[in-house]
A and B are shown apart, each in its own frame.
Chain A
Amino acid sequence: MRLPHITKSRRHLLSLASVAALAPLSAQVSAETITVATVNNADMVVMQSLTSEFEKAHPDITLDWVILEENVLRQRLTTDVATQGGQFDVMTIGTYEVPIWAKHGWLTKLDNLPEDYQVDDLIKPVRDGLSVTEGEKKGLYALPFYGESSMLYYRKDLFEQAGIEMPEQPTWSQVNDWAAKLNSADEGVYGICLRGKPGWGENMAVLGTMVNSFGGRWFNEEWEPQLDSPAWSEAINFYVDMMGKYGPPGATSNGFNENLALFSSGKCGMWVDATSAAGKLYNPKESSVADKLGFAPAPIAKTEKGSHWLWSWALAIPESSKSKDAAQTFITWATSQEYVNLVGEREGWASIPPGTRVSTYENPSYKDAAPFAGFVMDAITSADPTDPTLEPVPYVGVQMVTIPEFQSIGTQVGQMIAAALAGQMSVDQALSSAQRSTERTMRQSGY
């Protein structure tokens, strides 16, 4: 495709001409506007609120925000990037998209980052997740905004009342017993909250790690779907049964944000989810359980492998962007040490975007404010996307499979399991139809 080059050079000519014409009037006119698309999670909302700080430091760049809910954001970004639409200059995408999109040639390689950005300071598994590691496209394609693994949150006060002691490594069957003891629907406290909202990045993230830990896997080495295996059936039956007995009502519409709201308002005894929630839960301004919060590693069942996940939200620049330099200035700012410090001073140290830089975890003010810091660092560095399951698999990814088809497969399977959770069909029905639809999708794409 030669067309973009023509339009690009023409655009340069035009902008040169207009700058030349207007320069004597005002320097402000040359300010470049970049469009940043991001997800409506709390850390990104803070990023938006710091717009004026960025624009003060870089008067030649203006930021234009598009903030959307996760599923909608993915649709908009994927359609834009795949059709070379060029609507956005900065895209918020994750560990799943970056390697796939980079291989398609949709993302700009970030090989000329400024010296003071300190690429080596980025936590290695997170950095690797945002890179293409083989072939001629080898390199870093996105900068991590925050990184996360998963863990178990629980209410210390309720555990004490019930006389339960948290071991170093809880198991799912223990969690089930505790949920039974903690559950008291009369007082509006549910034993356990887990995601139920369908989506490969919603319920399947938690369920993926549960299945791994029950000894299951998505595909065997011949790429044959394994959803009708006993391990899947055991894990999903366990989940549906536990959530049915001790979960909150309407769980099929609860995703990360809904559960965060439930847990921080004191409605859940336990919650297994992203480590990135810890900052909000420890912030007394946002959480009524800040002083009663306990945490432990994500529960295991048959194996420890893949019991917690690895994910990061990252900022990338699409190839179709027309303001790549300005976009790079912005993403290096938003993922820099300096930005972390800025948020720490303004919003409190517990609320900084976690999981991206080693130096964050060496910062004494962060260690003081965030008792979970070392724990989270361990969880992130110990999650291994290249060896996530008991039996060997042909794919990379703990709570996901890094192939283009997974987005569709994960969401379909998530829908079926949500149907089982809602009691619309039995777990066996749900899994067998999930197995069939996954087989179809794989056959359709020629595996």
Chain B
Amino acid sequence: MRTRASGRTVGGLRTLSLQAPAVSLLLMWMLVPLVMTLWFSFQRYNLMMPSVSGFAGVDNYYFLLTDPSLWTAMGNTLLLVGWVLVATVVGGTLLAVLLQQEFFGRGVARLFVIAPFFIMPTVSALVWKNMMMHPVNGILAWVAGLFGLPAIDWFASLPLTSIVIIVTWQWLPFAVLILLTAIQSLDDDQVEAARMDGAGPIAIFFYITLPHLKRAISVVVMIEMIFLLTIFAEIFVTTSGGPGLASTNLAYLIYIRALLDFDVGGASAGGVIAIILANIVAFFLVRTVAKNLEN
């Protein structure tokens, strides 16, 4: 048996045969749904029209790619991911720094900040819809009333913003959790030394804490990106992708094609495009993160 410079063992019929069951199981796990999606994406397959079937060629892709709603949905997907990432990383860093300070009731405060992460997306969307952002009964409308301001009809006038707020509320705890752990590994002596050299809290934050958090931040960005590309429940519960297409992302568009239009072929083509998009994003992301982690 040979060994590579990296330490990984290579080749050998026996090794291969030992690996085969695990590898083929994994391949099936991954390949079967993928191949089926690809297969359906080239079929004329609409549940409501069983008489129309057969090979569709690239029709499904043609209709999808020339559909203006696809581009709106892609734009919305990127906006949604982008804004949530910015909000959670910035907010998460600030909260992590804050929660690192010694103060009375820190344990309880930490618990409260982390709590939203354990709420199911559907439930949190319902709570936000009916108790927070409702233009008549919502807390935000009541607060606006205290200041004599008119209530905002959130889901009608600021649909994408509302979704960003809800999703941020849910993912902020995750960022805080990771970043707080990272901050705790920061060497106290280093901070102490900086302080003795006359650095203020802001300088300490920018020159010591932030560089220290770089890795943790890239991990947060990567993991969140993977999950945020597929946000669905929050949109489904609150705006149903509307008004119009204002809050339709790629996942919701595929849902519309598959379960409102019952167009399995078109939905599969949308799925394939989503896979491609996710891979492009992942390609750049993994490279940047990997580079970050190496340094």
Contacts and interface: CB of A to CB of B under 8 A. Distances in A.
Given A104-B50, A440-B63, A446-B52, A421 B135 contact: no
Given A408-B260, A418-B243, A418-B244, A423 B50 contact: no
Contacts of B59: 444
A73 interface: no
Interface stretch (A30-38, A74-82, A156-164): A74-82
A198 interface: yes
Interface in B87-141: 134-136
Interface residues of B, number: 34
Contacts of B245: 415, 419
A108 interface: no
Given A404-B48, A419-B243, A445-B49, A79 B262 contact: yes
Given A75-B260, A100-B48, A252-B156, A415 B63 contact: no
A430 interface: yes
Interface string A267-306: 0000000000000000000000000000000000000000
A83 B46 CA distance: 11
A253 interface: yes
A408 B263 contact: yes
Contacts, number: 93
B246 A78 contact: no
A137 to B, nearest CB: 14
Interface string A412-445: 0001101111111100001001001100100011
A371 interface: no
Interface string B135-162: 1100000000000000101011101000
Contacts of B66: 440
A250 interface: yes
Contacts of A78: 47-48, 262
A78 B241 CA distance: 21
A171 interface: no
24 contacts: A75-B259, A79-B47, A83-B47, A249-B135, A249-B151, A250-B155, A252-B156, A252-B242, A407-B262, A408-B260, A408-B262, A415-B241, A415-B243, A415-B244, A418-B243, A419-B242, A420-B244, A421-B243, A422-B153, A422-B157, A433-B68, A440-B67, A444-B59, A445-B52
A424 B155 CA distance: 11
B240 A408 contact: no
Interface in B41-73: 46-52, 59, 63, 66-69
A424 B115 CA distance: 35
Contacts of B192: none
A191 B93 CA distance: 50
Residue in B69, B242, B263 with the greatest tally of chain A CB atoms within 10 Å = B242
Nearest to B263: A408
A27 to B, nearest CB: 41
A264 to B, nearest CB: 16
B98 to A, nearest CB: 36
A263 to B, nearest CB: 15
B261 interface: yes
A199 to B, nearest CB: 9
A411 interface: yes
B48 A407 contact: yes
Contact of B262 (A82, A252, A420, A421): A82
B52 A253 contact: no
A375 to B, nearest CB: 33
A225 to B, nearest CB: 16
A104 B242 CA distance: 32
Interface in B153-179: 153, 155-157, 159
Contacts of A253: 155-156
B28 to A, nearest CB: 23
A415 B159 CA distance: 13
A392 B34 CA distance: 47
A79 B49 CA distance: 12
The 9 closest A-B pairs by CB, nearest first: A419-B244, A82-B47, A408-B261, A422-B243, A419-B243, A422-B156, A404-B48, A418-B243, A250-B135
Interface string A70-97: 0000010011001100000000000000
A83 B50 CA distance: 10
